[in-house]
Amino acid sequence: MDKEKRSYAPHVLAIPYPGQGHINPMFQFCKRLVSKGLKATIALTTFTSNSIHSPPLSNSSLQFDTISDGYDEGGFKQAGDVQAYLTRLEATGSRTLAELIKRHERSEHPIDCIVYDAFMPWAVEVAKQFGLAGATFFTQPCAVDYIYYRVHHGLLKLPVESSSLPVSIPGLPLLELEDMPSFIYKLGSYPAYLELLSNQFGNVDKADYVLVNTFYQLEAQVVDSMSKVSPLMTIGPTIPSLYLDKRIENDCDYGLNLFQFDPSTCFEWLSNKPKRSVVYISFGSIANLGDEQMEEIVWGLKRTNYYFLWVVRASKETKLPKKFVEETSHKGLLVGWSPQLEVLASEAIGCFFSHCGWNSTIEALSLGVPIVAMPQWTDQTMNAKFVQDVWKVGIRVKVNEKGIVEREEVEACIKEVMEGERGEEIKKNSIKWMDLAKEAVSEGGTSDKDIDEFISKLTNPLYASSS
């Protein structure tokens, strides 16, 4: 059917990389597209779809489908190797994505555009085979994306020599080696991941749109610099509308969770705590802290004498000192998982002790929560640099010669964020960025305008071809 003669809205098929930190941002973006009149289908891998504990959202306007990564019984764990997983994901994913598109061709609403995670650049090749528009979706911040863009194009030579430090890149602050993404400053640590991240830009020129999960005011200088070489649209922050502009009805949570939990425990415990009195600690689902580091965090927390809510997976509880839970039961709560966004929104939370993954960071920024940053790997180190030195919404912990954050440092950083003159300045900056995040997605904001432009180009092919 001629797209110019259709009487219905464009149909977007979204393909997220199979990880919760990638699924939820794209999921939120699709909810926003639907709220503006588009039809959206999210295609998860079969294993991911079968692993979801919460029902796929109350928003019946969103449709769900599946593709295969080649490991339907066990996903990434079944592959056992990063490169093996990525290789089969591309081969099987490309084939099953093509089959999905064909199925929709025979329906009343064929696909018009593939929105695909930048970790899966092969998806645009499939889109173009069918004459569809392609939009690559970057879940990491623009600053990090720009670093990998420069690596891919040979503009940032690896390894980074000490003689070239600090590194000067247009739109970015001066960067020391430890400010870079970990795959660069610890070159060779995860070569498959460095290749994956660099290859996001291997065929980006074939994409009709480049979407980034950030907002313009947050990264204005680097957005301007990167836009000169790869025009992009800022469409974030991609968190539920309830916490931002409140324009999407019933959009109060992400709705897709790969981990099972009972949130009532967290909220009951938080309900009687004084305003901004609790330290919330979470290092994500992947970080694996050693015994010594866990013990240092434990003693640092105890020394602050603050209330704390700590997310510790059941498999990691054995690393905690004996009797810790018992001795701190009057001050702390340990949970196996938590609804992070909702917890951060609680008035009881005074600071977020975090690994500084991008989703966690942009959630805290959007909710005005100060951060104590303890980055572990990938983009977290660079996010922590911006948290402390650019956005000034928190403090990055210092490590000793063994790479351990000592208890005195844990105590000092938490107290500095929660108390005193610097703490007040950090709180003010946190509120400022919260207001700007809301402004970006509200009607007429920078992200809202970019989303509207994306929709306009999909709706009007003549406009798209002339722009």
Give the catalytic positions in this structure: 22, 117
Contact 322, 298 (CB under 8 A): no
Task: Provide the token pair at 422.
Answer: 């610097």
Contact 355, 335 (CB under 8 A): no
Contact 131, 31 (CB under 8 A): no
Peptide bond between residue 166 and the one before it cis (omega within 30 degrees of 0):
yes
- In 118-235, DSSP assigns E strands to 133-138, 209-212, 233-234
Task: Provide the token pair at 90.
Answer: 């591309």
Give the chain's count of helices (H) and strands (E): 19, 13
| Cβ contacts of 388 within 8 Å, gap of 6 or more | 373, 394, 395, 396
d(CA 29, CA 199): 23
Helix (H, G, I), strand (E, B) or coil at 310: strand
Contact 358, 385 (CB under 8 A): no
d(CA 16, CA 219): 23
Helix (H, G, I), strand (E, B) or coil at 424: helix
Contact 275, 348 (CB under 8 A): yes
List 211's β-bridge partners, or say none: 137, 233
Number of alpha carbons in the 13 Å side-chain half-sphere of residue 47: 18
CA angle, 190 then 193 then 196, to 5°: 155
